[in-house]
């Protein structure tokens, strides 16, 4: 069996329900899990690494407050809870730029705990999976995530950012050339870059996904809901590819789409 986890980043209190519904109804109707990496208390002027406003914020938005909590959008919370195919995981706290890239242990703990508290205040269960904004962790940030979460999903693992106590495990992972590993009770997952991205030629996306899924036992596919919309309008060819991906995943024998939570239970091998 080959396993696939779909991870969509950056849902927050201002994400339109209609956008998620447009993208993911074909997944939900087929019983395919959609893991939404949710920003607990989004910074309303969050910036990308290049200084521009983050693409997940509405264009021309003039915020009245510094942040907005998921709890402040009860309709969105109710929509996510009404569709059990959605699985909420924690995406940082505010989604400040490289929020966990430089943090020490105390700051990492404070941000992770505040984010978790905000999700619970909105009515979600304690998240078991953590995704850092821009997939970047300091050494202390990665250690803090592993202490608190059963699953950590990120881009890749660098030698210089591993907690020192992990280095023998990390060397063993490198020697085996495996994409995912476990330390203690935590599953540490890498991903092959954002294959489902508007920055790739649409014709290349599904072939790249197929070859990746066929190449390894567990693949994390990362995408961003807001890339499928341009100035509020749907980008039809890109949405079509996402929906072709749903059909491919649902109809291919030997491929099963799971949630991060199924990994947390330890029932699925990472190899
Ligand atoms: Zn993000």
Options 3.20.20.70, 3.40.50.11810, 3.40.718.10, 3.20.20.370; CATH for 2-264 is 3.20.20.370
Kindly give the distance from the C-alpha atom of residue 19 to the centroid of ligand 1, in angstroms, as a whole number: 17
With a cut of 80, say whether residue 261 has pLDDT above it.
yes
- The whole-angstrom separation of Cα 169 and Cα 182 is 8
User: Among 85-94, 131-140, 179-188, 198-207, where is mean pLDDT lowest?
Assistant: 179-188
- The confidence score (pLDDT) of residue 104 equals 95
Please tell me the pTM assigned to this model: 0.96
Give the residue-averaged pLDDT of 157-167. 85
Give the residue-averaged pLDDT of 95-113. 96
- The whole-angstrom separation of Cα 212 and Cα 204 is 12
Kindly give the distance from the C-alpha atom of residue 168 to the centroid of ligand 1, in angstroms, as a whole number: 30
**Contact (CB, 8 A) for 4 and 258:** yes
Angle made by CA atoms 189, 88, 34, in degrees to the nearest 5 = 75
Give the residue-averaged pLDDT of 107-127. 97
- The confidence score (pLDDT) of residue 168 equals 85
Kindly give the distance from the C-alpha atom of residue 155 to the centroid of ligand 1, in angstroms, as a whole number: 12
- The whole-angstrom separation of Cα 77 and Cα 97 is 25
Kindly give the distance from the C-alpha atom of residue 78 to the centroid of ligand 1, in angstroms, as a whole number: 22
Q: What is the mean pLDDT of the chain?
A: 94
Kindly give the distance from the C-alpha atom of residue 66 to the centroid of ligand 1, in angstroms, as a whole number: 18
Kindly give the distance from the C-alpha atom of residue 10 to the centroid of ligand 1, in angstroms, as a whole number: 5
Kindly give the distance from the C-alpha atom of residue 258 to the centroid of ligand 1, in angstroms, as a whole number: 21
**Residue of higher predicted confidence among 210 and 49:** 210
With a cut of 90, say whether residue 232 has pLDDT above it.
no
Confidence at 184, pLDDT banded by 50, 70, 90: confident
Kindly give the distance from the C-alpha atom of residue 95 to the centroid of ligand 1, in angstroms, as a whole number: 7
With a cut of 80, say whether residue 14 has pLDDT above it.
yes
Kindly give the distance from the C-alpha atom of residue 265 to the centroid of ligand 1, in angstroms, as a whole number: 25
Kindly give the distance from the C-alpha atom of residue 133 to the centroid of ligand 1, in angstroms, as a whole number: 4
- The confidence score (pLDDT) of residue 231 equals 87
Kindly give the distance from the C-alpha atom of residue 57 to the centroid of ligand 1, in angstroms, as a whole number: 11
Kindly give the distance from the C-alpha atom of residue 88 to the centroid of ligand 1, in angstroms, as a whole number: 14
Kindly give the distance from the C-alpha atom of residue 94 to the centroid of ligand 1, in angstroms, as a whole number: 10
User: Among 6-10, 88-92, 177-181, 196-200, where is mean pLDDT lowest?
Assistant: 177-181
- The confidence score (pLDDT) of residue 193 equals 94
Contacts for 93 with CB less than 8 Å, ≥ 6 apart:
39, 40, 41, 99, 111, 112, 114, 115, 118
**Residue of higher predicted confidence among 143 and 175:** 143
Give the residue-averaged pLDDT of 54-60. 90
Confidence at 224, pLDDT banded by 50, 70, 90: very high
- The confidence score (pLDDT) of residue 141 equals 96
| Residue-wise pLDDT tens digits, 186-202 | 999 999 999 999 999 99
SS (H, E, C) the chain: CEEEEEEEEEECCCCCHHHHHHHHHHHHHCCCCEEEEECCEEECCCECCCCCECCCCCCCCCCCCCEEEHHHCHHHHHHHHHCCCEEEEEECCCCCCCCCCCCCHHHHHHHHHHHHHHHHHHCCCCCCEEECHHHCCCHHHHHHHHHHCCEEECCCCCHHHCCHHHHHHHHHHHHHCCCCEEECCEEEECCCCCCCCCCCCHHHHHHHHHHHHHHCCEEEEEEEHHHHEECCEECHHHHHHHHHHHHHHHHCCCEEECCHHHHHCCCCCCC
Q: For residue 65, how many other CB atoms are within 10 A of its CB? A: 8
Kindly give the distance from the C-alpha atom of residue 12 to the centroid of ligand 1, in angstroms, as a whole number: 10
């Amino acid at each position: 069996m080959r396993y696939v986890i779909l991870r969509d980043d950056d849902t927050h209190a201002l994400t339109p329900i209609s956008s998620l519904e447009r993208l993911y109804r074909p997944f939900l109707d087929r019983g395919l899990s959609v893991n939404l990496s949710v920003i607990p208390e989004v910074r309303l002027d969050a910036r990308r690494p290049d200084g521009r406003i983050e693409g997940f914020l509405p264009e021309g938005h003039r915020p009245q407050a510094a942040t907005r909590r998921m709890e402040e959008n009860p309709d969105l919370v109710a929509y996510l809870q009404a569709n059990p195919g959605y699985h909420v995981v924690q995406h940082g706290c505010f989604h400040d730029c490289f929020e966990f890239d430089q943090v020490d242990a105390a700051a990492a703990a404070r941000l992770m705990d505040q984010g978790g508290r905000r999700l619970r205040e909105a009515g979600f269960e304690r998240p078991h999976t953590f995704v850092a904004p821009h997939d970047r962790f300091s050494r202390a940030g990665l250690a803090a995530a592993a202490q608190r979460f059963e699953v950590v999903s990120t881009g890749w693992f660098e030698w210089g950012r591993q907690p020192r106590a992990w280095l023998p495990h990390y060397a063993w992972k490198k020697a085996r050339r495996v994409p995912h590993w476990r330390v203690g009770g935590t599953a540490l997952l890498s991903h092959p870059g954002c294959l489902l991205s508007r920055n790739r030629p649409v014709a290349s996306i599904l072939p790249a996904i197929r070859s990746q899924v066929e190449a390894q036992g567990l693949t994390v596919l990362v995408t961003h809901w807001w890339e499928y919309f341009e100035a509020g309008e749907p980008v039809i060819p890109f949405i079509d590819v996402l929906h072709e991906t749903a059909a491919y995943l649902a109809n291919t024998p030997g491929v099963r789409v799971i949630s991060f939570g199924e990994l947390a239970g330890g029932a699925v091998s990472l190899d």
